[in-house]
């Protein structure tokens, strides 16, 4: 397993992209709508690292409570079905069952604090 990205909830996608690219020197890699979640995401990278920042804008969310900004961390897994089966057998809460997106599979589990952890299987 390897750490892939960290997701931050944002209130203003355009303003956030501008902040991270202009002030922190990050590069916008991609931006797309996720209709299944009524959200938009953007991935930003910084030279010399393999870890990305994902900005997530939830279209229906108007207010954020302090602490809501960290959305999730993401890990790559080799075999989603096997991994989810292992998590279920250990009693780990599955927040979102595996689904297909962009040629791969995604799923979410929760840590004991309720923090979502995204699992990504890429083909």
Which residues are part of the catalytic machinery? 118
CA distance 84 to 7: 21
Alpha helices in the chain, H assignment, sequence order: 13-24, 80-89
Calpha distance 51→47 (Å, rounded): 10
Residue 55 in 3-state DSSP? strand
């Amino acid at each position: 397993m390897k750490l892939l990205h960290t997701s931050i909830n944002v209130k203003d996608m355009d303003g956030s992209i501008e902040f991270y690219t202009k002030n922190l020197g990050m590069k916008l890699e991609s931006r797309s709508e996720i209709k299944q979640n009524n959200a938009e995401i953007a991935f930003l990278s910084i030279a010399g690292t393999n870890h990305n920042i994902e900005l997530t804008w939830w279209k229906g969310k108007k207010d954020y409570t302090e602490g809501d900004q960290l959305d999730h961390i993401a890990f790559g897994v080799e075999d989603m079905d096997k991994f989810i089966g292992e998590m279920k057998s250990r009693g780990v809460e599955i927040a979102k069952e595996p689904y297909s997106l962009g040629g791969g599979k995604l799923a979410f589990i929760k840590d004991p604090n309720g923090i979502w952890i995204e699992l990504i299987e890429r083909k």
